[in-house]
Amino acid sequence: VECYVATPEGDYPKNKVILFLPDVFGIPLPNNPLLVDDFAKNGFKTILPDYLNGDPVPAAELEAGTFDIQKWFASHGQDATRPVLDKVIAALKDTGVTDFGATGYCFGGRYVFDLAFDNAIKVGVASHPSLLKFPDDFEKYVATSKTPLLINSCTTDSMFPKEIHEKTDVIFAKFEPGYRREYFDGCTHGFAVRGDLSDPKVKAGKEGAFVAAVEWFLKYL
């Protein structure tokens, strides 16, 4: 499995790894590897696996409206993508890794939930998650998982809309492992990875979501 790997300089806990689960643009989107590097600078070996099987969505074509995203989703379901993640986790376990954190963005947020359902990760962060069913997936998380969860949410997001933010907080109100939801005003879906950094609110959101994730990992991983 192709992976982009960032290792901290100096000493770091060899039994801990953060899995960086990207949006549909995968490794080729420059911002994704840059964020992986930033996590490593904060003391965690971080791995971005190509769970899109060498077939990411081309950002330029999607923005131009010439790419059929629904057709892409049909061939990148759980059956095609989850086994890749399981393979990466198994290989890392063979090298002595015992504790996994996961940070997922958009499409990757779905997989943070799935790995947490199986308690395959110790800590989870989901930024503007997509493909989640409300309230089913959120109730399942509380019922089945022991993974502390941070959600980075924002103002405009059809995938994790403002209407369900507080309802999500209610579902997680008594979730003992740990739950927090950060809210970034003036930001839109995708802000934690790619946004217009000339907009002070978007810049604050991207940086704030990253800092919140690092603090979450430092606390629980």
Band of pLDDT at residue 76, cut at 50, 70 and 90: very high
Average pLDDT of span 65-91: 97
The CA distances from residue 92 to 1, 54, 97, 205, in Å, are 12, 20, 6, 32
Band of pLDDT at residue 33, cut at 50, 70 and 90: very high
Average pLDDT of span 75-99: 98
Task: Provide the strand spans (E) within the chain.
Answer: 3-6, 16-21, 45-49, 99-105, 123-127, 149-156, 179-188
Measured CA to CA, the distance from residue 197 to residue 183 in angstroms comes to 17
Instruction: Note the pLDDT of residue 96.
Output: 98
pLDDT digits (tens, 9 = 90+) for 186-208: 999 999 999 899 999 999 999 99
Average pLDDT of span 118-138: 98
Average pLDDT of span 58-71: 96
- pTM > 0.75: yes or no: yes
Instruction: Note the pLDDT of residue 88.
Output: 98
Which of the 8 DSSP states describes residue 172? T
Amino acid letter for position 159: M
Measured CA to CA, the distance from residue 120 to residue 160 in angstroms comes to 24
Q: How many CB atoms lie within 10 A of CB 71?
A: 9
Instruction: Note the pLDDT of residue 86.
Output: 98
Give percent of the chain above pLDDT 70. Answer: 100
